[in-house]
Amino acid sequence: MPTSALVLETSWAPAADDRALAYTLKLTNTTKTPLSNFHLYVSGPGRIDPGAEIDGGSLGTRLSNFSELLPPEGFVLEPGATWTVSVHGLSWAFQHWTDGARGAYLVLADGGTLPVRAGQTLMVGGNAPLKRGVAPYPVPANPPASISVIPWPQHVALSSRGAAPIGLTLVAEGAEPAAAADAFTRLVNDLFAVEGIVRPASEGGLPVHLWLKDGLAEEAYEIAFKADAISVAASTRTGLFYGLVTLGQIWRGARQFPESYSFPVEGTITDAPAMGWRGLHLDVARQFYGEAEIRKLMSILAWNKMNRFHWHLSDDESWRVEIDAYPALTEIGAWRGHGLPLPPLLGSGPERTGGFYTKAAVRGIVAHAKDFGIEILPEIDIPGHCFAMLTAIPELRDPAEQGSYYSVQGFPDNCINPAREKTYEVLETIFKELIDLFPFKTIHVGADEVPLGAWSGSPEALAKLRELSGDEMAEAHARRLNVITNTHGADAIDGSGAAVLQSVFLERVQKFLASRGCVTGGWEEAAHGNVIDKATTYLCGWRDTKVSAALAGEGYSMVVCPGQAYYLDMSNSPDWDEPGASWAGWSAPEMTYAFDPVAGWSDAQKEKLRGVQACIWSEAMMDRAVFDRLVFPRLSAIAETGWTAHDRKSWPRFKAAAGLMPILYGFREE
């Protein structure tokens, strides 16, 4: 069997007046052995349409973005020769270089696999260098503000400024100030280990006195500067911690760029957040992030004064958290590879890849984040997006179910059945274990993107629908069996049988969570049927602010995270050379910063606003340099929207300091 990797080159040509769109794959045999009777498997964010016209080969099996391409019968790929396949049908037209195949391999006649090195997808006629890493944000010689702080404080009154001290010596009396000092010391040692922000008096650190003061809001703080000492006051440990973060940012700016920024010698800063919910959502199902990556990300959130981490732990592609009662969830659902129940997806190769978080790891991360003022809430996405869960626990399917329906991502039959008692038995067991792991007692249940045809072939579900809504509704829903609806966008299911069944499902799940003292989170589709208890629920509005405003007007508590501005997997520009996605549009950092999440909201609607949240979906994040480019500095831009009063925001001031903010992996644009 050949052992050296083959080379796959891919290119994209948009449709034009004289040609159809073409996604072209060229496989070159770089070995010394002729290849025959092989199958080529490719995966990446982009998806080949099942009905696509294909020149030079044919489409075999397909699961979402994982596709099998077959050469013509009797074809032999000689050493040095190239096999060319042109695909003329995709689930959506490519927009960026990360849309194409990111992973590939061959399966040979004897069942063995051969690695294939997949290059970055090029656009025909495009010649700009493909971008990776954070775009540069140089500190100017004369920034608009004399101190570097993101997010910007509510009130700054500084009358005298000078050079930064060698470091800061934290002086804490009492348990809460000492805990804040300890958390801050661990934070800066994690983010900026060799800079020596926190130093003992023996090394010449400037004293910083921490003390509790009644009457301030939970996350508020006050800083008073004097030439020989600084004081930080707050009513809580978190407030003291945030005051120290502000102080640390000021110190770093003045220390690293003394020609641009200074350190206050006299004056005050008083501060409190504009919004109570300043969150980040991270999808760890499409790509896995190790414990060390999550911990470092928590440190970056803390440096941005963000206080919620929405941990998307399950989806069609995988299940990522240990559940004692159902070990198959991680034994099967956490791993992808050739010959496994879940195939390689989104750029992985034939080898077994993936991972999951043990309960010990989760508890450690939750405690770590809590010390930094961050509450963590898990998401188990139900009843849709459950392909991995159903693969691990097939008893959740109606055994008499027939036919198929497809999700917008191309997964068949991916919804757990709301008519089965086994569904609730399994979910309640899982939730009990999650509640024990996540003391914030907020559980997000997804509820998004259920296909219009979901459960249309399940006798159990149709019987339940007939009981709820009558024969006409049940018969209409049964006619959706094997009708492909989700092809190029999420179905609108309002008023359908799928919406009725989902609403009954969510009502029961939420009542269970409420009985355990939990708040239930959901994406905006959880409002279907208007049956959930608004007093113990919040929704994440992802489509646009008008939808979020309308739901707020109906009494739902809202976290605003619109795809066009706050989905950090969306590209920075419409250009091919930029990575990311564009299905919701694109948003340059300045656009994300300027976006008003409550534009046009009434005062009554604003009363239902919890806050804002950035969302990272990980389809394109196999390349961690792409992660850095897409997430930073837009994460800080959203953090400032959540903290800083709208009339105190300033893009020139933010842009001047953005380059001082930490990034996760350290990749910068070359």
Q: Residue 4 above 70 pLDDT?
A: no
Residue 499 phi/psi, 5-degree rounding, is -65, -40
Dihedral (Cα; 630, 642, 516, 385), 10-degree rounding: -30
Q: Is residue 487 part of a domain?
A: no
- The torsion angle over the Cα atoms of residues 414, 420, 422 and 426, rounded to 10 degrees, is 50
Kindly give, in sequence order, each residue whose CB lies less than 8 Å from that of residue 569, ignoring residues fewer than 6 positions away: 580, 581, 615, 616, 617, 618, 619, 620, 621, 630
Average per-residue pLDDT for the chain: 96
Please answer whether residues 238 and 370 qualify as being in contact, where contact means their C-beta atoms are separated by less than 8 angstroms. no
Return the pLDDT at 515. 98
pLDDT at 2 over 50: no
598 and 616 co-located in one domain:
yes
65 located within any domain: yes
Question: At residue 483, does pLDDT exceed 80?
Answer: no
Residue 147 in domain: no
Q: Which alpha helices (DSSP H) does 57-150 contain, by range? A: none
Tell me, what amino acid is at 350?
P
What confidence tens digit (pLDDT) does each residue in 19-75 have?
A: 889 999 999 999 999 999 999 999 999 999 998 999 999 999 999 999 999 999 999
pLDDT of residue 258: 97
Does residue 477 sit within a domain?
no
Q: Which long-range contacts (CB under 8 A, 24 or more apart) does 289-296 make?
A: 290/355, 291/357, 291/361, 291/364, 291/365, 293/664, 294/365, 295/190, 295/365, 295/368, 296/190, 296/664
pLDDT greater than 70 at residue 486 = no
Q: Strand 537-541 relative to strand 519-523: parallel, antiparallel, unpaired? A: parallel
Q: Decide if 587 contacts 564 (C-beta within 8 A).
A: yes
245 and 301 belong to one structural domain: no
Range of the structural domain that residue 209 is part of = 155-271
Can you give the CATH number for the domain in which 177 is found? 3.30.379.10
Write the single-letter amino acid at 148. S
The per-residue pLDDT for range 630-657, each reduced to its tens digit, is 999 999 999 999 999 999 999 999 999 9
At residue 482, does pLDDT exceed 90? no
pLDDT digits (tens, 9 = 90+) for 245-280: 999 999 999 999 999 999 999 999 999 999 999 999
Mean pLDDT of 326-343: 98
Kindly state the average pLDDT of the residues 548-572: 97
**Is 623:667 a contact under the CB 8 Å cutoff?**
no
- Same-domain status, 257 and 284: no
pLDDT band of residue 490 (cuts 50, 70, 90) is low
* Exposed e or buried b per residue across 118-129, where buried means at least 16 C-beta atoms within 10 angstroms of its C-beta: beebbbeeeeee
- Beta-strand relationship, 263-271 and 155-162: antiparallel
pLDDT at 492: 81
403 versus 388: which is more confidently predicted?
Answer: 388
Same domain, 97 and 221: no
Give the count of beta carbons closer than 10 Å to the beta carbon of residue 463.
13
Q: What is the mean pLDDT of residues 515-522?
A: 98
Rounded percentage of the chain residues whose pLDDT exceeds 90 = 93
Shared domain for 267 and 282, answered yes or no, is no
DSSP string, 448-516: ----TTTTTT-HHHHHHHHHHH-HHHHHHHHTTTT----SSS----TTSHHHHHHHHHHHHHHHHHHHT
The CATH number of residue 379's host domain is: 3.20.20.80
**CATH code of the domain covering residue 70:** 2.60.40.290
Residue 354 lies in a domain: yes
Per-residue pLDDT tens for 422-441?
999 999 999 999 999 999 99
pLDDT at 481: 85
Question: Is residue 247 domain-shared with residue 320, that is, in the same domain?
Answer: no
pLDDT computed for residue 17 by the predictor: 84
Last residue of a domain, one of 66, 101, 123: 123
Number of domains in the chain: 3
Sign of CA dihedral 155, 159, 165, 170: negative
Per-residue pLDDT tens over the stretch 368-380: 999 999 999 999 9
pLDDT tens digits for 100-134?
999 999 999 999 999 999 999 999 988 899 999 99
Contacts of 583 (CB under 8 A, 6+ apart): 92, 563, 570
Amino acid 639 reads: A
Peptide bond into 71 cis (omega under 30): no
CA angle 654, 666, 638 (to 5 degrees): 35
- The predicted pLDDT at position 485 comes to 63
Q: What is the pLDDT of residues 601-623, one digit of tens each?
A: 999 999 999 999 999 999 999 99
- Whether residue 377 is found in the same domain as residue 437: yes
Say whether both 211 and 287 belong to one domain: no
Pairing verdict, β 6-13 and 22-28: antiparallel
- What pLDDT score does 1 carry? 44
